[in-house]
Amino acid sequence: MSDRRCLRASGVDTLIGHRGVRLSGGQAQGLALARALATDSELLLADDISSALDASTEAQLWESLRAHRITVIGATSKRAALAHADKVVVLVDGHVVAVGPWTELASSWGHLAR
């Protein structure tokens, strides 16, 4: 976010419109994440945390979360996000069907890797 903030003359005081209407989906998601991370919380609950982020921004997000030792409990349908997890819980029809590291689950549950 800091790189994008520098591109705007008003910095953090830039007006983004009512309810952020002047932001793209990725920008709005990035702003929400920046706000959440600014709280210095040790835990972040998230729903599809990187769904609207480009690959570069997503990589920076996971790097930052790991560097700040923030625990993330989240739901995602994006396989790329699973590679950053220490533990993955797979639910099917509301039931836990597998738990473990992504590398292990992807190899033993081939359909998950697709």
Give the predicted TM-score (pTM) of the model: 0.67
Query: Does domain 2-82 fall into CATH 3.30.450.20?
Result: no
Domain ranges for the chain: 2-82, 85-114
pLDDT digit string, tens, across residues 29-69: 878 888 888 888 899 998 988 888 888 888 888 898 888 88
Q: 50 — alpha (psi -120 to 50), left (phi > 0) or beta?
A: alpha
Contact between residue 114 and residue 108 where contact means Cβ atoms under 8 Å apart: no
DSSP lists the bridge partners of residue 91 as: 96
